[in-house]
Amino acid sequence: METKLHINRLSRSSAAETVRSAPSISSAFRILTVLTVGILSVAFFFRYQIANGFTLLSGDRYDGFIELSILEHWYNVAQGFSHWSQMNYFYPVAGSLGYNEGSFIYGLIYAVFRWSGTDQFLSGELVNVIVRSIGFFAFYFASRRIFHISLPWALLGAVVFTISNNIFMHILHGQLLSVSFAPLLALLVHNTLQALIARQRGALILWGSAFNVLFAASLFTGFYMAWYFAFLGCATLLTWIVIAGSERRRDLLTILRDEALPLTILLCTAVAVNAPFLSVYLPKAMETGMHPYNEVFQYSPSLLDVVHVGDNNLLFGRLQAIMNHYFRPGFPSFSERTTGFPPVVLFLYVCATVSLWWRCRLRVCDKILLMQAMALSTLLTWALTLTLHIGQFSPYYLVYLLIPGAKAVRVIARYQIFLAAPVIVLAVLYLSQNSLRIAKPLLAIIAALLVVEEINIAPPLSLDRFHEIAWLAAIPSPPSNCQAFFVSAARPEALFGPATDKLVSHNIDAMLIAETKRLPTVNGSSTFLPSGWHLESPDSPSYLAMVKAFASQNGVRGLCALDLQAVNWNTRPFAEQPAAATQRYE
C-alpha cells in the first residue's frame, strides 16, 4: 500500500514537473525558431559574399574605401592614436570627421573585429552582417511588442525587412544599413511612452535615456536614416494629435504637465548626448551651407520610382525594364532613385492604410490609433518627397526650408529605403488581422510572394578583398621624417572613368592609407570639401603648386609625396630635382 502511495506521489510529482517545464520548452523552441530564421535571413542577404568565401565584398573603391577609412579611424581612436573628431585626411583641417558620415556604431563593432586580428576589408563586411542581424531581431521584437503581431507573422515581416530589395541594391552605401536601427529606436520610443502613460518615472527616465543615447549614436553613424526616423516620428505625433480627439489631447497635456520633471531630465540628457555630434557637424553645416535645393531636387523620386525595383529583381525586373523603356526611355536601370517597392508589399500597405482609416470611421479606433497615425504619416511624408518633376516644384521644398537638418539630406529617394520598416510592418499586420478571412492556399501564396519579390539576383560586389590587401601591403612604411603626405600620382587601376578618376581616385586611396599607416594626408574626398582645398587632379600642371600653397597656408611641416604608380615615397616633393625614391615596388 505504501509502495502504491509512493508511486502515486511520484507520478503526481512527475506530472507537475512536466506541466512546469512545458512553458520553458515552448519558450526554448520559440527562441530557437527566431534565432534560426534570423540567421538564415541574414545569411541569405549576404549569400553571394558567403558563396565566394568573402573574397569579393560589397562596396567599391569609392564609397567603400571612404567608409573603411572612417571605420579605421574609430579603431585608431579606440587604441588612443587619434582624436575622435579629427580624421587623418584633409589634414590639418579641424573637425574633419564632419565632412562625412560618422559611422560611430559601425566603428565600435569594427574595432572588435580588428582587435581580433581580422583585416580591414573583412572587418568592414562583418560590420554589415552584425548591423543587418540587429535589424532582423529589432524588427521582430518591435512587431511583437508594439503591434502585437503573432510569432509567425512577425517572423515573416522580419525576413522581408532583412532581405528587402531596395537596401540590397544600395549596400554599396554601407551607412544606409543603419535603417536596421529604426525598429529598435521605435521599440525604445514605445517603452518610453508606455512608462509616461503609466506615470512610472523611473522607467520613463530609463527608457527615454536609452532612446536618447541610441538616437544620438545613430545620428553619429548614419545621418540619413536617423533624420528620417525623426522626420517620420514627428509626423506620426502630429497626425496622432490631429486624429486623437479633444479628450485624448487633454489627457496628453495633463500627463505632460504632471511629468514635467522627468521629461526635463530627458531633454537635458538629449542635449548632452547629442553635443558631440552637434559640435562637429554644426560648424561644417555653417561652413558649407549644405546642399542647394536644385541638387536635392535631382534626387527626388517620381511616381514611377515608387515601384522602381531595378532590372535585376527576380520577379519584376523585366517588367521594370519595359516600364522604363516606354515611360522614360534612357533612364538608367540603376541609380540613386532605384529605391522602390515590389507590388505585393505595396498593395498590402495600401490595404492596411485604407482598412485602418475605415475602422476609425466606424468608431472602433481606440486600439488602432497609433497604427492609423503611423500609416497616415507614412503616406503623407512619402507624398511630400514625391514630385512630378515639372519645373523645380516639389512639396518637399517646404520640408527643405522649414525642418532642421533637411538641407543636409541630398538623396531624397533614400527615404523609400527607410520606409521599408513601416510599409512592411503594416503589410504584415494587415495579413495577420485578416488571415482567417483568406483561404489558406491563397494566404500561403501571398506570404511566399512577399519574400520572393524581394530577391535581387545582381549582387553589388566590387571590392576584391585580397587584391586590396596586397595593394595596401605593397605600400612601404613612410620615412621617419614624414609628418604628413600627399599622393603625387594615382594608381593606374581604373575606378569609374578618366573624368572621375582624376578627381577622386588618389584622394580616396590616400584616406585609407592615412588611417592604416596613421600618417595624416592633405588629400581626402567627401560631398563637402574644406574651404580653400583644391587638390583634385595630380596630373594637372598646377597640382604641386596647389598642394604647396595649401600646406603653407595651413602650417603643414614635413610633407612627403607618395607616388602610387611607382609606389614610393619622396621626402622632398617640391625640390627642383626631387629626391630619389626611397623604395620601388613592382
For residues 498 and 405, what is the distance between their CA atoms, to the nearest angstrom?
A: 34
Residue 298's pLDDT is 87
Phi, psi of 56 (to 5 degrees): -115, 120
pLDDT band at 581 (very low <50, low <70, confident <90, very high): very low
Please state, in angstroms and rounded to a whole number, the distance separating the CA atoms of residues 527 and 173: 13
pLDDT tens digits, 223-242? 999 999 999 999 999 999 99
State pLDDT tens for residues 104-147.
999 999 999 999 999 999 999 999 999 999 999 999 999 999 99
Q: What one-letter code names the amino acid at 413?
A: A
Helices (H) and strands (E) in the chain, counts: 23, 5
pLDDT score for 394 = 76
What's residue 582's pLDDT? 45
pLDDT of 366: 62
Q: Is the pLDDT of residue 3 over 60?
A: no
- Under the banding of pLDDT at 50, 70 and 90, the label for residue 392 is low
Grid cell 621626402 is found at 571
- CA-CA distance, 461 to 385, in Å (whole number)? 29
Percent of the chain with pLDDT over 70: 91
pLDDT in tens, 360-391: 555 555 668 888 899 999 999 999 888 755 56
Q: How confident is the model at residue 12 (pLDDT cuts 50, 70, 90)?
A: very low
Q: Which residues have CB under 8 Å from 264's CB, separation 6+? A: none
Which residue has 565584398 as its cell numbers? 57
Which ranges in 81-119 belong to alpha helices (H)?
104-115
Q: How far is CA 293 from CA 71, 286, 394, in A?
A: 30, 16, 10
Instruction: Determine contact, residues 178/131, Cβ cutoff 8 Å.
Output: yes
Paired sense of beta strands 461-464 and 56-58, if any: antiparallel
- Judged against a pLDDT cut of 70, whether residue 221 lies above it is answered with yes
> Quick check: 20 pLDDT over 70?
no
460 sits in the region (left: phi over 0; alpha: psi -120 to 50; else beta) called beta
Domains of the chain: which residue ranges? 2-45, 125-452
Q: Poorest-confidence range of 47-56, 523-532, 552-561? A: 523-532
Residue type for position 219: L
CA distances to 89, 246, 496 from 513, in Å = 9, 61, 20
Higher-pLDDT residue of 1, 434:
434
